[in-house]
Amino acid sequence: MPVHGNHLKKADLYAASELSNMPRRAARKTLEVPEPGTPSAEPPLADDDFVSALKDELVKTQRVAEARTGEDLTHRAELNRRLLQDLWEVHNQFEEVSVHLTIDPSQTLFATFAEYPTKWTFKENFDFGAVKTVELGDRAAGWVGFTLRFWYYRTPEGKNHLRGIFEWCDGESYHRYSGWMRMMSQAVLYDADEDSVNVGELHRVLKDVVVHWYAAHLERTPEAFVAHLKEKYPKGASYAKESYR
């Protein structure tokens, strides 16, 4: 039996009507994955008393630092020139008996040599006032850790002081979690207000320590020198540091 065209059209219209009446499935949301290394946006934490107080303290610290930057360091520069000149001469005396010492800051920074190591002049472009620590370190075998050091520090009352110490190694010990540690001890040689440093007194102490240090190298043993430091000068800090075996 032949199917008329109008019957097919009605069937198509009916099917389309039924499809339009069917409930539609909600579109699936696509999860956006940020690229690796992209920080996730987080809302800032609310400001509180701690943050406000911290900001205030940091501002005060910055102002104090700026004020210190403006300090007159002319006197310190002259002290450092004297210390570097004296310690470099000590270095040269030890070199004459084949005992190697190193100076910090390095001589290549503060000196220009016409004939190394005895004929030299200070570099004009070196900022001597910015130096906070001057030291001589012993590099002879068996003497590692023996150091003559001068540095500037600020007291709780806000005064600048110059302190001189001699530091040595009292031996090594093995620790389960930290490995081999070198036990360090110090003798306080000199300590005075930066503006009241007595160069004569400083030289007296320096002469005493250097002569005993030098003699100990000639005797090839540090025991007598360490005993002298312990007997004559106040005890300083003691601490442990990694041995780097």
- What does the pLDDT average to over 51-56? 80
Peptide bond between residue 222 and the one before it cis (omega within 30 degrees of 0):
no
Name the residue with higher pLDDT: 240 or 154.
154
Read off the pLDDT of residues 191-201 as tens digits, 9 standing for 90 and up: 999 999 999 99
Q: Is the pLDDT of residue 13 over 70?
A: no
Query: Would you list the domain boundaries of the chain?
Result: 74-242
Alpha carbon 67 to chain centroid, angstroms: 22
- State pTM to two decimals: 0.70
Determine the residue type at 70: G
Centre a 10 Å sphere on the Cβ of residue 197 and count the other Cβ atoms it contains: 21
* Paired strand residues for 149: 135, 165
DSSP states of 47-92? P-HHHHHHHHHHHHHHHHHHHHHTS--HHHHHHHHHHHHHHHHHHH
